[in-house]
Structure 1
Amino acid sequence: MPKKDRSSAKGFVEEMRAVAMKLHTRDQAKDGEKEPDSPPVAKWEPSLQGYLRFLVDSKLVYDTLETIVRKASHPWYAEFRNTGLERSEKLAKDLEWFKEQGHVIPEPSSSGISYACYLEELSEKDPQAFICHFYNVYFAHTAGGRIIGKKVAEKILSKKELEFYKWDGDLSQLLQNVRDKLNQVASSWSREEKNHCLEETEKSFKFSGEILRLIVS
């Protein structure tokens, strides 16, 4: 199919994006990477407690991803150190702010813990599948994640913009740099390994979707 060939010409990231887009519900399927499996954001009724749970679980997931990349049990994980997309420190600042406002910061929920454990396990034994999660977690947050953050801030935070939704430098350039690195890493994979990575997309949506739904819990 010519469509496949075009994706390959643009590099593997385009294939990952295409698979992710297919999994989006119809009302989200506009251009760009979106947060997985969520109701139309406009209809959300977020609770502060639920949102804190979402932020805590998100921090656990980013902590895990960033630790895996730092340790680099597979040499090419090291390519993804200091990309500028890291969220862990930003989330630490946000949770500190909530604490200063007198809110109790919850412990991570089973959704966050099971995703973190799964990522650790994958990173050791299945690097292609791990890269699928790495891509989907970071890229979805820069697109759909920001829209959700804005809506939640309007509804329950008097429009305060959290650090979680701020990047140092030009975000589109940071994303492009990571796309280039992903394409470079995947260029050494066999077609079978690439397909294996793509097949993991659904699982990454399932885990992320569970954490996302904490916002309205």
Structure 2
Amino acid sequence: MPKRQTPGRTGGFVDEMRAVAMKLHTRDQAKEGEKEPDSPPVSKWEPSVDGYLRFLVDNKLVYDTLETIVQKAAYPCYAEFRNTGLERSKNLVQDLEWFKDQGHTIPEPSVGASYAHYLEELSEKDPQAFICHFYNIYFAHSAGGRMIGRKVAEKILDSKELQFYKWDGDLSQLLQNVRDKLNRVASSWSREEKDHCLEETEKSFKYSGEILRLILS
């Protein structure tokens, strides 16, 4: 577990979530990374359009699930995360339509279905763990996810930029707004609840990693 916040710091609990997440990266992904790589770096990937489509379809299911959960708000704090500007479902609909127009068949979701089911269950009974997944999914996509999207597009899409990697407005400001909301929600948690949230990070990486690896399938 990371050390508790130093008095006077303004980063709040999000800094703790970020610190735990960074350690689960490999050294070539982040300078704070401590994990041994289990696949080649993105620059050496040989992606396929079929694999990338599976990745996009599974991501759409996960984002659909996240957006539905915050709309239903089984816990009042979830309502804080409605209409943040980070939502991805509508963008992914446009991307999948584009692929369909190019003559590609859109596959059914695969590994993403189990992640979506897990998120639904978690959101009903464990808000701290759910918030961990919410944070890691949206923030990872805005950082490393964009880099991966650019590299894959260079190799198989003639560098076309998909809507999945576009946001309306200033992304850095959208992210800061969500950081502020996350810190506000977590400010009412006990230390045990915060630690429980942090402990869920590894599971978030496991599920997201399974979806990411679809690109190479």
TM-score after normalising by structure 2: 0.94
Deviation at 1:29, TM superposition (A): 1.2
Corresponding residue for 1:162? Answer: 162
Q: Which has the higher helix share?
A: 1
Corresponding residue for 2:140? Answer: 140
CA contact (8 A) 1:25 1:37 kept: no
Equivalent-residue separation in structure 2 for 1:8 and 1:100 (angstroms) = 54
Equivalent-residue separation in structure 2 for 1:89 and 1:121 (angstroms) = 24
CA contact (8 A) 1:48 1:156 kept: yes
SS in 2 for 1:196: helix
* Structure 1 residues 186 and 140, CA gap change in structure 2 (3 angstroms): same
The answer as to 2:212 corresponding to 1:212 is yes
CA contact (8 A) 1:80 1:181 kept: yes
Equivalent-residue separation in structure 1 for 2:170 and 2:31 (angstroms) = 22
* Structure 1 residues 151 and 7, CA gap change in structure 2 (3 angstroms): farther
Corresponding residue for 1:43? Answer: 44
Equivalent-residue separation in structure 2 for 1:216 and 1:43 (angstroms) = 11
Corresponding residue for 1:11? Answer: 12
Corresponding residue for 2:60? Answer: 59
Deviation at 1:30, TM superposition (A): 3.7
Aligned length: 213
Corresponding residue for 1:116? Answer: 116
Deviation at 1:4, TM superposition (A): 3.3
**Structure 2 unmatched ranges of 5 or more:** none
Equivalent-residue separation in structure 2 for 1:172 and 1:145 (angstroms) = 15
Deviation at 1:39, TM superposition (A): 3.5
Equivalent-residue separation in structure 2 for 1:144 and 1:75 (angstroms) = 30
SS in 2 for 1:5: coil
Deviation at 1:37, TM superposition (A): 7.2
Corresponding residue for 1:23? Answer: 24
Corresponding residue for 1:178? Answer: 178
Equivalent-residue separation in structure 2 for 1:143 and 1:200 (angstroms) = 20
SS in 1 for 2:185: helix
Deviations 1:131-163 (A, max 9, x none): 000000000000000000000000000000000
Corresponding residue for 1:198? Answer: 198
CA contact (8 A) 2:5 2:12 kept: no
| CA RMSD in angstroms, aligned pairs only | 2.0
CA contact (8 A) 1:53 1:106 kept: yes
CA contact (8 A) 2:70 2:78 kept: yes
Deviation at 1:3, TM superposition (A): 5.6
Equivalent-residue separation in structure 1 for 2:89 and 2:202 (angstroms) = 24
Amino acid at match of 2:149: G
Give identity over the alignment, percent. Answer: 82
**Structure 1 unmatched ranges of 5 or more:** none
* Structure 1 residues 113 and 121, CA gap change in structure 2 (3 angstroms): same
Equivalent-residue separation in structure 1 for 2:172 and 2:206 (angstroms) = 26
Amino acid at match of 2:183: N
* Structure 1 residues 196 and 7, CA gap change in structure 2 (3 angstroms): farther
Corresponding residue for 2:72? Answer: 71
CA contact (8 A) 2:23 2:32 kept: no
Runs of 4+ in 1 over 6 A off after TM superposition: none
* Structure 1 residues 90 and 201, CA gap change in structure 2 (3 angstroms): same
* Structure 1 residues 8 and 148, CA gap change in structure 2 (3 angstroms): farther
